[in-house]
Structure 1
Amino acid sequence: MGKILIIGAAGQLGQCIKTVAERRSITNIIFPSEQSANILDLALLNELFAKEQPKYVINCAAYTAVDKAEDDIELAKAINETGAAHLAEVCKANDATLIHVSTDFVFEGNTVKLLKEDDEAKPINVYGQTKLDGELAIVDILQSHIIIRTSWLYSEYANNFVKTMLKLGADRDELNIIADQVGTPTYAIDLANAIFDMIEADSKVYGTYHYSNEGVTSWFDFAKAIFDISETKVKVNPIPGSAYPTRATRPSFSVMDKSKIKSTFNITIPYWRDSLVACIEKIKGLEG
């Protein structure tokens, strides 16, 4: 398989990759600290690659604060575009394959249809634009790349919608949740497994792929499922996005077509609610 280097190891997906690597007994894998793998420092990256000589690099590092990015444009651009370009350059110089995680937010999401990899990307917020610019930089620099667009990531690690809902549900009697933004939740453990499946296939079918769990839901129905599964008693009211204005505009429909990744790598994707059950069990286990 060759050595695997994880960039952004401390984040949610990085932690899930570590967990899955342990479960799959993958030992030839490096999780450097943020200090030694700063994607904005090209000299540092060159040192790291010279020392570790990875065959695969998984980039989990990203600026993901969607609303904050509207005002923090330079930093979002630096991490999501310049950082991605740096990794592509260093991978090219060291003959490594880059697996880069991107987002459904590269799409406008104003039509009800499954989004394919070659559909027009037209971001409607700064975060989405910087992630798209990062994708374009990688495509321009490095042939041996795999870009995986995912959506609504959650897990037992870090801060995410599931953990926020569990906390709010325990503290409040009633919650208002947006019902007119539709997409697919993705359990980051499932995404980590899919990434390892792609690496193990060693098929060199480079390009862009979509991965989320199967199915379609709204934030409101997602929250309802979280409370049903966790047996949390809280009243949930559906509201339109217009009733909860945010700094950044979100796509109203961003359900992705996953047929390409399934057929290319023979990957089976779990249904979102089944994965949510597994995640909530893990969260309860960690709390217990």
Structure 2
Amino acid sequence: MFSLQNKIAVITGGGSGIGKAISKLFAKQGATIHIIELNAAAAQHTVEEINADGGQAFAHTADISKQPEVLQVFERIGVINILVNNAGIAHVGNLEGTSEADIDRIYSVNVKGAYNALYAAVPVMKAHGGGVILNMASIASLVGITDRFAYSMSKGAIYAMSMSVARDYMADNIRCNSISPARVHTPFVDGFIAKNYPGKETEIFEKLSKSQPIGRMGKPEEVAALALYLCSDEAGFITGCDYPIDGGFIKLNN
């Protein structure tokens, strides 16, 4: 079950964290992996790990906020069967703590970046009989999170775009879903805490861990397992859905 044999998968932000876990699991299940990543060294490291384990992967350096770069990468890749829009950045601040520059920065990567990958992938999928798209949203797209104004805006857009693409391209045999993780322990989270809460890293990590009713953060591998199911043929009846993977955050925080 859940074989991706003979599938070609494009994963943005596959150099670390959730994207890396997805890349490695998809390769283990037989997919050929193409990582699009701004951090060339991180992408190459993931590729080397996959190839050492007997998989097949390639790294492409690109800024996903720049459409010409994204289109060039997709043109080089050619046929694709799976797109995982995973790349993203964060910002701490409420409305008043969010400048125009902050909004533009978050929008350009989290929203426009996902749009650019969709814009490049959908015509290719249409031309070759269909495909599967998985977009990384967040619990912040579904509930109010303190001091996450810009980030929540961007992930709400991801959720809405996922539903729109699912509806518009159903007849083209393209499925599109999203995943909404709560806090997942990745290098991104560690860097985020260190940058925004210097000197309070242990305290904030514990606080963020306990904000999930289950009592801990998620693991990248747990998100990857859900991503694998949604991108496999076994999930062929699923489109236009969002899947929280949140340790009970949305439903059980009472």
**Which of the five TM-score ranges fits, normalised by the shorter chain?**
0.5 to 0.7
- Checking the alignment, whether the CA contact within 8 Å between 1:11 and 1:60 is kept in structure 2 is no
Q: Which runs of 4+ in 1 moved over 4 A?
A: 161-165, 174-179
* Alpha-carbon distance in 2 for matches of 1:129, 1:59: 17
Give secondary structure in 2 for the equivalent of 1:61: coil
Displacement of 1:131: 1.4
Give the whole-Å Cα distance in 2 for the aligned partners of 1:205 and 1:63. Answer: 28
Pair 40,14 (structure 1): closer, same or farther in 2 beyond 3 Å: same
Q: For residues 76 and 183 of structure 1, what CA distance do their matches in structure 2 show?
A: 25
Task: Tell me if structure 1 keeps the 8 A contact 2:9–2:31.
Answer: no
2:177–2:239 CA contact under 8 A, matched in 1 = yes
**2:137 and 2:224 mapped to 1: Cα distance?**
14
Q: Which residue does the alignment assign to 2:85?
A: 59
Selected match of 1:105 from 118, 140, 160: 140
1:9 aligns with 2:14: yes
Structure 2: runs of 5 or more not aligned: 39-59, 126-130, 170-174
- Retained in 1: the 8 A contact 2:142–2:156? no
SS at match of 2:113: helix
Does residue 43 of structure 1 match 2:68? yes
After superposition, the C-alpha distances for 1:71-126 in whole angstroms (9 at most, x for unaligned) are 3111101111111222222222111432111100123449xxxxxxxxxxxx9612
- Alignment match, 1:196: 228
State the partner residue of 2:243: 210
Name the aligned partner's letter for residue 196 of structure 1: L
For the residues of structure 2 that align with 1:175 and 1:148, how far apart are their CA atoms?
28
CA distance in 2 between counterparts of 1:162 and 1:255 reads 25
How far is the alpha carbon of 1:194 from its aligned partner? Answer: 1.5
Residue 113 of structure 2 is aligned to residue 78 of structure 1: no
With over 3 angstroms needed to count, the CA separation of the structure-2 counterparts of 1:178 and 1:6, relative to structure 1, is closer
Equivalent residues of 2:89, 2:110 under 8 A apart: yes
Q: Give 1:207 deviation, angstroms.
A: 1.4
Structure index of larger Rg? 1
Alignment of 1:1-288 (within 5 A): 1=4, 2-21=7-26, 24-34=28-38, 36-52=61-77, 53-67=79-93, 70-71=98-99, 72-95=102-125, 96-109=131-144, 125-141=149-165, 143=169, 144-155=175-186, 158-160=187-189, 175=203, 178=207, 182-183=211-212, 185-200=217-232, 201-212=234-245, 214=247, 216=248, 254-256=249-251
Listed one character per residue, the Cα deviations across residues 163-220 of structure 1 (whole Å, up to 9, x for unaligned) are 979xx9xx99x947649x8335321111111111222225052113223254x4xxxx
Give a deviation string over 1:26-56, Cα, whole Å, max 9, x none.
3422224426343222222222223222110
- Contact 1:56-1:97 within 8 A present in 2 as well: yes
Q: CA deviation at 1:161?
A: 5.3
Quote the offset at 1:65 in angstroms.
3.4
- Which residue of 2 is the match for residue 236 of structure 1? none
Unaligned runs of 5+ in 1: 111-122, 217-253, 258-288
Two-structure CA RMSD over aligned residues (Å):
3.6
* Equivalent position amino acid for 1:126 in 2: A
Tell me the TM-score normalized by structure 2. 0.64
- How many residues align? The count is 199
Letter of the aligned partner of 2:158 in structure 1?
A: G
**Identity fraction in percent:** 11
CA contact (8 A) 1:211 1:256 kept: no
Cα distance in 2 between the residues matched to 1:163 and 1:140: 31
Relative to its length, the structure with more helix (as a share) is 2
